Amino acid sequence: MVTVSRNSLKLLSIGIGLLFTAAVYYTMHYNPRWDWSAPGVGKLPRDIIAQFMDQAYDKGQGGTAQQSYFAKDAMDNAPAADDRRDGAPVPHEIRDVIAQGMTVAVIHRIGPARGNPQLDVIDVFRIKDGRIVRRDRYPTRFAQ
Amino acid sequence: MANDGKGTAANGSVGSDRVAIALDAATLWRATITLLRLFLGAWMLNSGYSYWAQEFGWPPAFPQPFGTLPASNQMLVTMVEVGLFDFVKTVEVVGGLCLIFGLFVPAATLMLLPVSAVVFYNAVFLNLRTDRLFSPTYMGVSCLYINVIVALAYIRHYLPMLSLRSTPGPLRDLARLPDVFRQPDHDHNT
């Protein structure tokens, strides 16, 4: 049997707790499963898409945006879209954004730019690990 | 063995600030519960901190996971969007700190139980990780197991509120709240 100070035991347990905290932080932070370079890591899917659109349309930096926001093996059924190339800003009017889980649907009117006519589309994005892994573009025509 | 509550015991108080520890099963049990409590606290603190860290632009331990399968994605994203995660992650930080610093441990353990239960539900029923149902290294399930074990170890603190029959007390009972700071639990070594 050993006799120890109650305060020493208390301090020891707090020390072990803080050690556990540091160990959990270190183990999780340096876990290779996280891609810390992804621009949307830990962010909500709708926020990731909003940032992508800001860069690709409002700033006209689609080439840069697609390199950072689209995953390397991403599927995109509109590979020639203006939002994947750098150039003049592309005016667009977002009519609605519908997000559910990791899927974000953007209903928007893309204004005439870079020699292309106006286009009404529904872009459906799928997010994984902070990047866009799929984009399905559905051309449509708004009533107004 | 348990402290007899009257002073010196094989594994109990030998004075106001000293405690005798016998190398027996009771000590092993208490040490195990203490380590589980501390680990649960460390995990909860990291989980809660990581969420708030990203909100404030600090380096998180890990990015907020949004699940693997659609139902899990939907639940977690919605919880963040409607602001419920602000509440959940605050509970994790406060509860985690309480467990690590040994303050209000029974209350903190109880407070964290619904969080652990939802984590378990998300892992097993929404992400279908039944393959890791008994994996001790998978905190998606282990945090609930640890939480329940720690709660059971503190069950004597819950017994009064599990009364079969009870009556409400007067409002002046609120004046007894400061007592929680004046009653050290000398049945515990840590």
Hey, what are A20's tokens?
């556990």
pLDDT tier, A33 (very low <50, low <70, confident <90, very high otherwise): confident
Q: How many CA atoms lie within 13 A of A127 on its CB side?
A: 33
Hey, what are A102's tokens?
């990791």
Clarify whether residues A98 and A120 are in a common domain: yes
Total count of domains within chain A: 2
Clarify whether residues A78 and A109 are in a common domain: yes
Letter string b/e over residues B1-26, b meaning 16 or more CB atoms within 10 A of that residue's CB:
eebeeeeebbbbbbeeeebbbeeeeb
- Contact present, B79 and B87 (Cβ < 8 Å): no
- The C-alpha of B153 sits at a distance from chain A's nearest C-alpha, in angstroms, of 17
Clarify whether residues A64 and A97 are in a common domain: yes
Clarify whether residues A90 and A128 are in a common domain: yes
Q: Which of B14, B41, B99 faces A3 most closely, judged by CB atoms?
A: B14
Is the predicted pLDDT of residue B7 greater than 60, yes or no? Answer: no
Contact B62 A10 (CB under 8 A): no
DSSP state of A56: I
Which structural domain, as residue segments, surrounds residue A70?
45-140
Does ipTM come in above 0.90? no
Is the predicted pLDDT of residue A75 greater than 80, yes or no? Answer: yes
In whole numbers, what is the pLDDT of chain B averaged over residues?
Answer: 89
Least confident of A67-81, A107-121, B15-29, B102-116: B15-29
Q: What percent of chain A has pLDDT over 90?
A: 89
Q: What is the dihedral of CA B130, B131, B136, B139, to 10 degrees?
A: -50
**Averaged pLDDT for residues B126-143:** 94
**Averaged pLDDT for residues B15-20:** 78
Between helix B139-153 and helix B105-121 the angle, nearest 10°, is 150
Contact B18 A3 (CB under 8 A): yes
How far apart, in whole angstroms, are the C-alpha atoms of residue B72 and residue B75? 5
Select the more confidently predicted residue: A115 or A94: A94
Task: Please state the domain extents for chain B.
Answer: 33-158
